[in-house]
Amino acid sequence: MTIIVTGGAGFIGGNFVHYMLKKYPDYRIVCLDALTYAGNRETLRDVAENPDFRFVHGDITDREGVYRLFAEEKPDIVVNFAAESHVDRSIENPSVFLTTNVIGTQVLMDACREYNVPRYHQVSTDEVYGDLPLDRPDLFFTEDTPIHTSSPYSASKASADLLVLAYCRTFGFPATISRCSNNYGPYHFPEKLIPLMITNALADKPLPVYGNGENIRDWLYVGDHCRAIDMIIHNGKIGEVYNVGGHNEMKNIDIVKLICRELGKPETLITYVEDRKGHDLRYAIDPTKIGKELGWSPETKFSDGIKTTIQWYLENRKWWEDILSGEYKKSSLFTK
């Protein structure tokens, strides 16, 4: 079994590469990554010498390069993690998000059709549903919730999802989609909330919190997410969307205070900043479908997962310090 994992040098994709190589020692995993600012070769250092792993530096929007890779590897499954994913950056420059997230998805699906790839999986986000009111804790996103995007990022991911479903209907394309809640865990790029707060707190720097910090997110430990995708690509029903959520709703401000407590840092480091444009209030996923159909459920409680995550950042300072200094861009791993 050969699986092409796009965006495998990123946060969730990198964790998925580690997970799959450990669980399936007879599988071949090929990572295709453009190594944009959020891609880090060092995330894959522990698997670099694995004979069943190959790293390819390339862009999913490069049709010629993608087709060449598919011709060489003849993959059985393609899992697409590759995406521009930072909401603030999408507000500043929407065009790169549309190019990577929509056109890149089309190129991958066209390559799958050209080379008769049996399975394609699109990794999406709960942000395509928009947000939920803070005063209705009984409401959750289901797979039937209408798409209602709030940012150029979520709009680009929703566009890609619709394109995947259109390919399923028009061409009988063998695809599935998963929409996950906010992930956290090892190898998370330091611009995102949890790793930013950890790394800033360790350096006694201000901890910037948007607005009043009351926005709520449903947090999913990245290992649980990898397990869900594993189940979907092996047993999921073609043409279906699966919501993957952690049942771990937390206010942003409560997460920041928790991190301060765990690291023994004062809450006086917290600094409230101007709120993000179009900032979604609350995300909450109902994962009933994937539970009933595939037997998946989140195993990691947030109280445990956040401690594991903080400990990982304490034990892997060089990984994130090199990112903050820019040294990670000079990594010679996978270069000749």
Which residues are known catalytic residues?
A: 126-127, 153
C-alpha distances (whole Å) from 257 to each of 67, 133, 201, 309 are 48, 23, 11, 15
* Geometric angle at alpha carbon 227, from 226 and 233, rounded to 5°: 90
Task: For residue 261, give both structure tokens.
Answer: 């407590």
Contact predicate 287/296, CB 8 Å: yes
Using CA atoms, how far apart are residues 31 and 55, in angstroms rounded to an integer?
5
Using CA atoms, how far apart are residues 292 and 66, in angstroms rounded to an integer?
36
CA distance between the termini of the chain: 27
Contact predicate 143/243, CB 8 Å: yes
C-alpha distances (whole Å) from 270 to each of 181, 195, 260 are 25, 15, 9
